[in-house]
Amino acid sequence: MQSASEDEFREEFDQETDNKLLNEMLKERILILDKVIKLCVNLAEHEKLAKHRNIKLALYKNVLVRPDLSARKKMATTKRR
Protein backbone atom coordinates (compact mmCIF):
# COMPACT_ATOMS: atom_id res chain seq x y z
CA MET A 1 0.00 0.00 0.00
CA GLN A 2 2.75 2.47 0.94
CA SER A 3 4.66 1.89 -2.27
CA ALA A 4 1.50 2.53 -4.34
CA SER A 5 0.90 5.89 -2.67
CA GLU A 6 4.60 6.71 -2.92
CA ASP A 7 4.54 5.94 -6.64
CA GLU A 8 1.42 8.07 -7.09
CA PHE A 9 3.08 10.97 -5.28
CA ARG A 10 6.20 10.75 -7.42
CA GLU A 11 4.12 10.65 -10.59
CA GLU A 12 2.10 13.72 -9.53
CA PHE A 13 5.29 15.49 -8.42
CA ASP A 14 7.04 14.83 -11.71
CA GLN A 15 4.05 16.09 -13.73
CA GLU A 16 3.40 19.26 -11.72
CA THR A 17 4.92 22.46 -13.09
CA ASP A 18 3.61 25.11 -10.68
CA ASN A 19 6.32 25.79 -8.07
CA LYS A 20 3.78 26.96 -5.50
CA LEU A 21 1.88 23.68 -5.77
CA LEU A 22 5.14 21.73 -5.70
CA ASN A 23 6.15 23.46 -2.49
CA GLU A 24 2.75 22.66 -0.93
CA MET A 25 3.03 19.02 -2.03
CA LEU A 26 6.51 18.78 -0.52
CA LYS A 27 5.46 20.44 2.71
CA GLU A 28 2.51 18.06 3.18
CA ARG A 29 4.57 15.00 2.28
CA ILE A 30 7.40 15.95 4.65
CA LEU A 31 4.93 16.52 7.51
CA ILE A 32 3.41 13.08 6.93
CA LEU A 33 6.83 11.43 6.76
CA ASP A 34 7.97 13.22 9.93
CA LYS A 35 4.89 11.94 11.78
CA VAL A 36 5.44 8.39 10.56
CA ILE A 37 9.13 8.55 11.51
CA LYS A 38 8.27 9.84 14.98
CA LEU A 39 5.71 7.07 15.42
CA CYS A 40 8.24 4.43 14.35
CA VAL A 41 10.74 5.79 16.88
CA ASN A 42 8.11 5.72 19.63
CA LEU A 43 7.12 2.15 18.77
CA ALA A 44 10.75 1.08 18.34
CA GLU A 45 10.01 -0.27 14.87
CA HIS A 46 13.47 0.00 13.41
CA GLU A 47 12.77 -1.53 10.00
CA LYS A 48 9.84 0.82 9.33
CA LEU A 49 11.88 3.72 10.66
CA ALA A 50 14.68 2.99 8.21
CA LYS A 51 12.17 2.54 5.37
CA HIS A 52 10.48 5.90 5.97
CA ARG A 53 13.75 7.73 6.48
CA ASN A 54 14.85 6.37 3.11
CA ILE A 55 11.58 7.54 1.54
CA LYS A 56 12.16 11.03 2.96
CA LEU A 57 15.75 11.02 1.69
CA ALA A 58 14.54 9.95 -1.76
CA LEU A 59 12.07 12.84 -1.71
CA TYR A 60 14.87 15.32 -0.99
CA LYS A 61 17.00 13.79 -3.75
CA ASN A 62 14.08 14.06 -6.17
CA VAL A 63 13.83 17.78 -5.41
CA LEU A 64 17.56 18.30 -5.87
CA VAL A 65 17.62 16.76 -9.34
CA ARG A 66 14.55 18.63 -10.58
CA PRO A 67 16.04 21.40 -12.72
CA ASP A 68 13.03 23.72 -12.86
CA LEU A 69 12.91 24.12 -9.09
CA SER A 70 16.56 25.01 -8.64
CA ALA A 71 16.70 27.15 -11.78
CA ARG A 72 13.83 29.34 -10.66
CA LYS A 73 15.39 29.74 -7.24
CA LYS A 74 18.64 30.91 -8.86
CA MET A 75 16.74 33.34 -11.09
CA ALA A 76 14.89 34.82 -8.12
CA THR A 77 18.17 35.26 -6.22
CA THR A 78 19.82 36.90 -9.22
CA LYS A 79 16.91 39.33 -9.73
CA ARG A 80 17.11 40.51 -6.09
CA ARG A 81 20.72 41.59 -6.46
Give this prediction's pTM.
Answer: 0.51
Distances in whole angstroms, Cα of residue 80 to Cα of each of 18, 23, 35, 68: 21, 21, 36, 19
* pLDDT tens-digit map of 43-56: 888 888 888 888 88
SS (H, E, C) 13-55: HHHCCCHHHHHHHHHHHHHHHHHHHHHHHHHCCHHHHHHHHHH
Instruction: Average the pLDDT over 24-48 and give the result.
Output: 84
At residue 75, the pLDDT reads 42
- For the chain, domain boundaries: 2-80
Instruction: Average the pLDDT over 55-66 and give the result.
Output: 82
Instruction: Average the pLDDT over 35-39 and give the result.
Output: 85
